[in-house]
Structure 1
Amino acid sequence: MALSPELQPIAARVDRDGWAMVSVQKDPADPESRLLFTVTVGMQEKFGLPELVLFGLNRTMAEGMIHNVAARLVKEKSWTDQPLRMDGVLEGEEVELRPVHDEHLGEVGAINIMIRRETGRPPLEGMIQVFWAGDDGRFPWDPESTDTFRDQPRLDMSWEKGKG
């Protein structure tokens, strides 16, 4: 199976730069459609870090935040597979990084999985979700949060009843 025409430019960017960002839109045919999430491809090989995924921000903010988070992770070598809080990542905002539960890798990591399989790269080992605080300044797991976080699903935990 060969890479689809949509994935060929992403694989070419990874070959050229070592990693790339991909934004997934609600309607890929409409460049103005709502952005669902942004994911990295290639950070695992280039930097020895899990791939990043970020939900619910516009393209400019998402790309800026991912660039800044990636730069800090590479510089500080601070990822230990445990939740990690970072401040000042974009416009003074605080973010928290959490590992994506294995249950969600097939869906949110689909682009990574396809590119890796078709280009002979190592399998996807894991992902980190970048969480940002809601309108109330709190994160989704804070029991005092009043934000609904509709655009920011929690992939750091299982959605199957009774699983961690």
Structure 2
Amino acid sequence: MFDQPVCHCLLCVERDVELDEADLSTMRHVRERGWGIILIPEDEDGPGWAFTVGLWHTFRSPEAAMFGLRVEVMKNCLNTLADGVAAGRHLVADQARDDVIRNYSVVTKAVDTSWYRSLFGMALHFYQEPPLPFMEVVWPDAGGRYPWDPGATPKLRELQPSLWIPKDDHAPGPWTKLP
């Protein structure tokens, strides 16, 4: 797995930082369940996304992120995935998982750190001292094609960024417009 001997998160190290309701809610979820899910709904600027906070703290497994589905669907998928992590199925790059979406496999891809500030600010705040590992959970279209497969629809590629590619090298789209 990843080598980080000490966790510097908000739960493990007392800090002189003001905590808001979102911080307290995330901390409560991580204490009670081992992780929390942050939901970013779709808006006029682009698709929504969701990500975990706490898998690294609790299980030393990478955090997970999904993009482009309804946020409640992604929340359910990430909770299912996190349940698997809690049972010992840690996230590994380029791993096919059939325990996330019924009748479909997803693939986990290591996220390049150039995306972290744009997409995972809440996780960076929680952990205080990155880097921490993130995996993108990539889902296929109804035909089982992933965004990188020939014949995948352009919409599938728009809904899910290719976070394993550095942000500066990524094709322009809603994800690269994020600060």
Does residue 1:123 correspond to 2:135, yes or no?
no
**Hey, which of these two has a bigger chunk of strand by percent?**
1
Report the equivalent of 2:173: none
Call closer, same or farther: CA 1:85–1:77 in 2, change over 3 Å.
same
How far apart in 1 are the matches of 2:123 and 2:98?
A: 28
Residue type at the aligned position of 1:130: V
Residue type at the aligned position of 2:87: K
Report the equivalent of 1:31: none
Off by >4 Å, runs of 4+ in structure 1: none
Call closer, same or farther: CA 1:76–1:19 in 2, change over 3 Å.
closer
Report the equivalent of 2:117: 106
Deviation string for 1:69-113 (max 9, x for gaps)? 223344354534x30011252222211111111111122221111
Does residue 1:9 correspond to 2:9, yes or no?
no
Report the equivalent of 2:13: none
Call closer, same or farther: CA 1:35–1:20 in 2, change over 3 Å.
farther
Residue type at the aligned position of 2:161: P
Does residue 1:132 correspond to 2:161, yes or no?
no
How far apart in 1 are the matches of 2:26 and 2:51?
A: 11
Report the equivalent of 1:160: 168
The answer (yes or no) to whether the contact 1:7–1:115 under 8 Å persists in 2 is yes
**Deviation of the 1:19 alpha carbon:** 1.4
% identical equivalent positions: 21
Alignment of 1:8-157 (within 5 A): 8-26=24-42, 36-80=48-92, 82-117=93-128, 123-149=130-156, 150-157=158-165
TM-score by length of 1: 0.78
For the aligned residue pairs, the C-alpha RMSD in angstroms reads: 2.5
TM-score by length of 2: 0.72
How far apart in 2 are the matches of 1:75 and 1:152?
A: 27
**Deviation of the 1:26 alpha carbon:** 4.2
**Deviation of the 1:67 alpha carbon:** 1.9
Specify every segment of 5 or more residues in structure 1 that has no aligned partner in the other structure, as ranges.
28-33
Task: Determine helix, strand or coil for the equivalent of 2:69.
Answer: coil
